[in-house]
Structure 1
Amino acid sequence: MDPLAEAVVRGADPAELEKTDTPTEYTAAHVRAEDVDMFDGVVDKDVRKSLRVGKVPLPELAPDEVLVAVMASAINYNTVWSAIFEPLPTFRFLERHARRGGWEERHNQPYHVLGSDAAGVVVRTGAGVRNWKVGDHVVASTVYADGEEPATQADGMLGATQRAWGFETNFGGLAHYTVLRSSQLLRKPAHLSWEEAAVNPLCAGTAYRMLVSDRGARIKQGDVVLIWGASGGLGAYATQMVRNGGGISVGVVGSGRKAEAARALGCDVVIDREEAGLITRPDASPDQVLATGKRLGKIIRKEVGEDPSVVFEHVGQSTFGVSVFVAARGGTVITCGSSTGYHHQFDNRYLWMNLKRIIGSHGANLQEQWETNRLLDMGRIVPALTDLYRLEEVGEAARLVQRNGHIGKVGVLGLAPEPGLGITDPERRARFGEERITTMRSFATRG
């Protein structure tokens, strides 16, 4: 561990952090450009073979950027996509980003440091940073947006140069240090540990925009919301937001253990897709999709009395046709991803003749992310953290997500030497309740 990292870990004050030399290289989880063809013709693209942990050069800061010592991070599905080089190698994203010139040219490297979640300590600030200082405890928003782009002033997600940090940009959060624009920073909730704070931003912010924001479904009291994967990273936050908003959540999960987790988060109706005989495969025939939709719709109407007004979609090819079918007349299917495939098929009659809507959603702008962080800070949302790995185990952590063996969010310790550190407001934590904050930890897959 370099001297600056050591100072951060032992809680040195800002003055000491500023005086301590910045390292020239740092430890990071990354993929290499030379490996992009390693899985050609391979059926099981095992991310443990492509994800590497080692030293990479520390980049120079742009005037609007900060250097954060990463205490903890998390695995997201984009980590898996990056590590299997699909649907295309992320080095193409880095090349495109670098074509903007200037400081963006730094991102085009023969290595890609991954990770779209992080919590840590600001250790350096660029000359143009105004609202943040060395020593601040922060969490990272995943959106890398250009504030000088006109569309960004309306919605940070609409800018043509908006990027997913740690996926479409380099120097992500699965490392001992990360580089962030100052417009990505939020105050870390003081009652949460580093790992509890790190796992939230990407998935919680995405769920907020999808369900609560005026750019999403805008759920209201009494709305029936169907949540695919209600115990997963996205689903765990969606379930809580539906509950908070007075809606009725109907979660679909893949096992009895995942059903327990969804119920623990307050999901009103939980459906085990295997027990219910729901066929959700990418290669399902139109007749199978229709039969599955009818079966699922019947279960939902029996449990809550009506069809879902909102369907929370991120599974994609395996479920999308069913989602369009089961949504209520005038209802909304909102989608942010396609983990089982991007080529969706659905019977359009059920969409147009029943006046349904499909809304595409991606990430969260800074205001939406701030609102989400506020809910966490108030204890209205709890972290979805279950499993926790060390940075050197990042391959195993990503493999767990790749195989869909996880529940909730999988955290990764960076510089934090052990779990449970970083809590600076224990009184608030006690008020919210240790058992509630750690609701999902009992669903870890390993001891």
Structure 2
Amino acid sequence: MDSLIEAVLSDAPAEELLRRPLPDTYTAAHLHAEDQTVFDGTCDRDVRKTLRVGPVPMPELAVDEVLIAVMASSINYNTVWSATFEPLPTFTFLKRLGRQGGPAARHDLPWHVVGSDAAGVVVRVGTGVRRWQAGDHVVVSCVQVDDQEPATHADGMLGAEQRIWGFETNFGGLAHYAVVRASQLMPKPAHLTWEEAASTMLCAATSYRMLVSDRGARIKQGDIVLIWGATGGLGSYAVQLVRGGGGIAVGVVSSEEKAERLRALGCDLVINRAEVGLDQDISDDPEATVEAGKRLGGIIRGHFGEDPHVVFDYIGKATFGLSVFVVRRGGTVVTCGSSTGYQHRFDNRYLWMNLKRIVGSHAANLQEQSECNRLFRLGRLVPARSTVYPLTEVADAARLVQTNGHIGKVGVLCLAPRPGLGVTDRALRDRIGEHRLNPLRAEQTTETRSPVAAAPAH
């Protein structure tokens, strides 16, 4: 443990953090460019074969950047994409960024530190940073933008130089330290633990833009919203946003265990995929898709007397034809991600003849991220974290997400020595109530981890 980490863990004041030297290296979950062909000729691209935890060199800060001592992070599906080198090796993104020269050249390295969520303590700021200082407790937005690009000032997500930190950039959050732009930072909700706060921003803000923002589906009171994968990271926040906005949440899950957790989250109607014949992939069978859509629509109409106004779909290929079919006339399918594949097949007659809309959405701009973070700070949204792993077992954590064995968000402790630390507003936490926080956890008193097979040796 370096002396700066010791100072962070002892809650040292800002002046002491600044006195402690930066280490030359730090521990991080990272990928090696030399492993990009390791899965050639194999069927199972097991992320445990490529995700490594070990020392990497400490980069220098650009003038608009901040160095965070990462207390906790979490697994997002983009880490699975990175570790499987699909659909593109993320080293391709790093090379493209590096060609810009200047500070961007630092990102083009033969290793890639991954991770797109973090909560931690500011330990250094660049000379151009104004709003943050050493000692601040922060959460990190996953989005990096170029504030000198005109489109960014209309909507940060429209800028051509918008990138997802820790996926399309280096120096991500699954590490002891992370390099971020100052424009990625927001205050950490003071009543949340480090691991709770680190499980919020990427998924919750993405769901916020998809559903609440005027750039998404713009849900309103009384809207029926069908949510695929409703106990996943995105889906579990979608359920909360729909319910909090006066809508009616209909969640689809793949097991009875997930159905029980979803009912505890307050979902209005829970549907097991097997009920509508979705226990196998029917995306390439138009007739089976229509039949499953009729069954799904019938269940929803049987409960509420009408079809959904909005379908929330990040699953992609396996569900998209159903989404277009089942949403009501004039309704909206809002999509991102596509974890089962990007080539979506649907019957366009159900779209154009019924005046339906498809809205593409990606992450969230800083204002949307800030509005979403405010809901956490007020206790209107609660973390969807189900379990937590140490950084040394990050490959197992990512494998759990890769195989869809998880519920909600899978947290990762980086510098935090144990769960439950980081709360600085105990009164607010008590007012919200421990029983309301982390509703997707199997046990409310102990940390649990879903079992996965032992990782192969490197």
Please give the alpha-carbon distance, in whole angstroms, between the structure 2 residues aligned to 1:327 and 1:279: 21
Please give the alpha-carbon distance, in whole angstroms, between the structure 1 residues aligned to 2:428 and 2:89: 44
Partner secondary structure for residue 250 of structure 1 = strand
**Which residue in the other structure is 2:385 paired with?**
385
Alignment of 1:46-195 (within 5 A): 46-195=46-195
What's the CA shift string for 1:301-321, capped at 9, x where partnerless? Answer: 001111111000100000000
Displacement of 1:283 after TM fit? 4.9
Please give the alpha-carbon distance, in whole angstroms, between the structure 2 residues aligned to 1:236 and 1:283: 24
- The AA in structure 1 aligned to 2:72 is A
Please give the alpha-carbon distance, in whole angstroms, between the structure 2 residues aligned to 1:279 and 1:204: 27
**Which residue in the other structure is 2:312 paired with?**
312
Please give the alpha-carbon distance, in whole angstroms, between the structure 2 residues aligned to 1:344 and 1:283: 8
- The AA in structure 2 aligned to 1:412 is V
Alignment of 1:46-445 (within 5 A): 46-278=46-278, 281=281, 283-442=283-442, 444-445=448-449
Please give the alpha-carbon distance, in whole angstroms, between the structure 2 residues aligned to 1:397 and 1:337: 20
User: Contact 2:283 / 2:319 at 8 angstroms: preserved in 1?
Assistant: no
- The AA in structure 1 aligned to 2:406 is H
Displacement of 1:438 after TM fit? 2.8
Q: Please, what TM-score do these two structures have when normalized by structure 2?
A: 0.96
What's the CA shift string for 1:133-184, capped at 9, x where partnerless? Answer: 0000000000011111100001000000000000000000000000000000
**Which residue in the other structure is 2:33 paired with?**
33
What's the CA shift string for 1:359-393, capped at 9, x where partnerless? Answer: 00000000000000000000001001111000000
Please give the alpha-carbon distance, in whole angstroms, between the structure 1 residues aligned to 2:309 and 2:95: 41
- The AA in structure 2 aligned to 1:306 is E
Displacement of 1:45 after TM fit? 1.1
Please give the alpha-carbon distance, in whole angstroms, between the structure 1 residues aligned to 2:282 and 2:100: 37
Displacement of 1:11 after TM fit? 1.1
Please give the alpha-carbon distance, in whole angstroms, between the structure 2 residues aligned to 1:340 and 1:374: 32
Please give the alpha-carbon distance, in whole angstroms, between the structure 2 residues aligned to 1:22 and 1:32: 24
Displacement of 1:6 after TM fit? 1.3
Gaps of 5+ in 2: 452-458
Displacement of 1:199 after TM fit? 0.5
Gaps of 5+ in 1: none
Please give the alpha-carbon distance, in whole angstroms, between the structure 2 residues aligned to 1:266 and 1:239: 8
Please give the alpha-carbon distance, in whole angstroms, between the structure 1 residues aligned to 2:9 and 2:349: 59
- The AA in structure 1 aligned to 2:26 is Y
Please give the alpha-carbon distance, in whole angstroms, between the structure 1 residues aligned to 2:167 and 2:264: 31
Please give the alpha-carbon distance, in whole angstroms, between the structure 2 residues aligned to 1:282 and 1:118: 37
Please give the alpha-carbon distance, in whole angstroms, between the structure 2 residues aligned to 1:267 and 1:41: 42
User: Contact 1:48 / 1:395 at 8 angstroms: preserved in 2?
Assistant: yes
Displacement of 1:279 after TM fit? 5.3
What's the CA shift string for 1:286-312, capped at 9, x where partnerless? Answer: 111111111101111001111111000
User: Contact 1:278 / 1:295 at 8 angstroms: preserved in 2?
Assistant: no
Displacement of 1:445 after TM fit? 4.6
The sequence identity of aligned pairs, in percent, is 67
Displacement of 1:276 after TM fit? 3.6
What's the CA shift string for 1:104-147, capped at 9, x where partnerless? Answer: 11000000000000000000000000000000000000001111
Partner secondary structure for residue 393 of structure 1 = helix
Displacement of 1:440 after TM fit? 1.9
Q: Check 1:72–1:14 CA distance in 2 against 1; reply closer, same or farther (3 A cut).
A: same
Please give the alpha-carbon distance, in whole angstroms, between the structure 1 residues aligned to 2:281 and 2:70: 38
Displacement of 1:442 after TM fit? 2.1
Please give the alpha-carbon distance, in whole angstroms, between the structure 2 residues aligned to 1:445 and 1:27: 23
- The AA in structure 1 aligned to 2:99 is R
**Which residue in the other structure is 2:456 paired with?**
none
Q: How many residues align?
A: 447
Please give the alpha-carbon distance, in whole angstroms, between the structure 2 residues aligned to 1:344 and 1:396: 30
Displacement of 1:280 after TM fit? 5.4
Please give the alpha-carbon distance, in whole angstroms, between the structure 1 residues aligned to 2:277 and 2:39: 34
What's the CA shift string for 1:224-247, capped at 9, x where partnerless? Answer: 000001111000000000000100
Q: Check 1:282–1:338 CA distance in 2 against 1; reply closer, same or farther (3 A cut).
A: farther
Partner secondary structure for residue 374 of structure 1 = helix
Q: Please, what TM-score do these two structures have when normalized by structure 1?
A: 0.99
What's the CA shift string for 1:11-46, capped at 9, x where partnerless? Answer: 111111010001111000000000000001111111
What's the CA shift string for 1:221-272, capped at 9, x where partnerless? Answer: 0100000011110000000000001000110000011111111111100000
- The AA in structure 2 aligned to 1:308 is P
Please give the alpha-carbon distance, in whole angstroms, between the structure 2 residues aligned to 1:267 and 1:96: 43
Please give the alpha-carbon distance, in whole angstroms, between the structure 1 residues aligned to 2:146 and 2:282: 37
Partner secondary structure for residue 156 of structure 2 = coil
Please give the alpha-carbon distance, in whole angstroms, between the structure 2 residues aligned to 1:185 and 1:79: 21
Displacement of 1:10 after TM fit? 1.5
Please give the alpha-carbon distance, in whole angstroms, between the structure 1 residues aligned to 2:94 and 2:438: 37
Displacement of 1:282 after TM fit? 6.0
RMSD: 1.0
Q: Check 1:339–1:132 CA distance in 2 against 1; reply closer, same or farther (3 A cut).
A: same
Please give the alpha-carbon distance, in whole angstroms, between the structure 2 residues aligned to 1:283 and 1:251: 19
Please give the alpha-carbon distance, in whole angstroms, between the structure 2 residues aligned to 1:273 and 1:164: 31
Please list every run of at least 4 consecutive aligned residues from structure 1 whose deviation after the TM superposition is greater than 3 angstroms.
Answer: 443-447
**Which residue in the other structure is 2:4 paired with?**
4
Partner secondary structure for residue 60 of structure 2 = coil
Please give the alpha-carbon distance, in whole angstroms, between the structure 1 residues aligned to 2:373 and 2:117: 13
**Which residue in the other structure is 2:455 paired with?**
none
